[in-house]
Amino acid sequence: MLPIYIVNNFGQFNHLILRTLRDMEIDATMIPNSTPPQKIAEDCRGIILGGGPSLERSGNCDTYLDLGLPVLGICLGLHIIAVKFGGEVHTGRKGGYGPVDVDICEHNDILKGYPDKISVWASHADEVTKIPEGFTLLAHSSICGAEAVAFQKMHIYGLQWHPEVSHTFEGKRVFENFNQIILDTL
């Protein structure tokens, strides 16, 4: 079976995403965000767009969203998704990493099995301020109106928070759910 590709956008937790998936015995490989889309289309079964410092350093990532593969965007990955599909990203009211309580308003396939409120670890230096047309709001918090979104018919999901860090409540569940989404599309 082909691996899930984790796109390294120079974020401090991208290697932790890889480690988490491998610990879960999910085949995954880290790739640079300069990898040609053709190679990705041929060599993987799903994509995780990792975090990073800025949209300007996100390389080819927006073109990866045209490949028809399931995609999970984490932090900057969510921002790449939002901008690609006509949403907006602006500086958040709260910056830096820290805990936040998230209200899940739509328990779809990526957030299946979670309670209505969870504590997560997130950065809100930048955040989605306008959700793209056709996307569903999955979660919000008191400091961010779009903590998670989905374009389910394309199997594209985005989270503001970091499921790979131990501070996030049952973060591995997101990766289990994403892996199941990929398996269901094969």
Which listed residue (75, 124, 144, 147) is catalytic? Answer: 75
Among this protein's residues, is 162 annotated catalytic? yes
Q: Over 80: is that where the pLDDT of 95 sits?
A: no
The mean pLDDT value of the chain amounts to 95
Q: pLDDT digit string (tens) for 74-90?
A: 999 999 999 999 999 99
In whole angstroms, give the CA distance from residue 121 to residue 102.
Answer: 10
Query: Domain range spanning residue 97?
Result: 4-185
Residues 6 or more apart whose Cβ sits within 8 Å of residue 111:
104, 138, 139, 148, 174, 177
Half-sphere exposure of 50 (CA within 13 A, CB side): 27
Q: pLDDT tens digit string along 97-123?
A: 899 999 999 998 999 999 999 999 999
- Residue from 44, 127, 155, 164 carrying the catalytic annotation: 164
Q: Alpha-carbon distance 91 to 173, whole Å?
A: 28
CA distance 88 to 133: 11
What is the Cα–Cα distance from 45 to 3, expressed in whole angstroms?
Answer: 6
How does residue 57 score in pLDDT terms, banded at 50, 70 and 90?
A: confident
Q: Is 144 a catalytic residue?
A: no
Residue 165 CB burial class (10 angstroms; 0-12, 13-18, ≥19): middle
Q: Which one of the listed residues 79, 124, 155, 162 is annotated catalytic?
A: 162
The CA angle 7-110-158, to the nearest 5 degrees, is 45
Count of H helices and E strands in the chain? Answer: 5, 11
Q: Tell me how many domains the chain contains.
A: 1
pLDDT, position 76: 96
Here the CATH number for the domain that contains residue 130 is 3.40.50.880
